[in-house]
Amino acid sequence: MIQPNFRHEINGKKLATAIAQDHETNEILMLAFIDEEAYKKTIETGKAHYYSTSRDTIWFKGEESGHIQLVKEILFDCDKDAIIFRIEQTGGACHTGHYSCFYQKLSDDNTTLEDVGKKVFNPDDIY
């Protein structure tokens, strides 16, 4: 099986980087890290799994919220240490209730972040 190159030592653990991207619109939904186990679980189940550097464990995205990511396609970059999960997102990717975690736009004078994201659920209802 083809695997990413888990070559970056991130917070003490060898990992690769994974970007979740909407497979229809190309919108970027989140960025996270993966270890070998998270990658294999993703391949096995067709649902995105990641490695949490703060909790030091793999996590199944949407396990708690139900907002899972169905993986339609996987792309590798030139040195294979970064991959893209092209996904179909159930609900929203972000714990804040936004469809994408990248919902803040830097203002032209670089002093503020403006919320430009699409809110798709109320986090109080979910978490």
**Given the rule CB under 8 A, which residues bind its own copies?**
1-2, 8-12, 17, 19, 21, 25-28, 30-31, 43, 53, 73-78, 80, 82-84, 94-96, 98, 101-107, 110-113, 116
Whether the CB-CB separation of 5 and 17 falls below 8 Å is answered with no
Cross-strand bridge partners of residue 57: 52
What is the smallest separation between the CB atom of 110 and its own copies, expressed in angstroms? 5
What is the smallest separation between the CB atom of 103 and its own copies, expressed in angstroms? 7
Count CB neighbours of 103 within 10 A.
19
Kindly tell me which of 68 and 86 has the beta carbon lying closer to its own copies. Answer: 86
Distance CA 65, CA 125 (A): 9
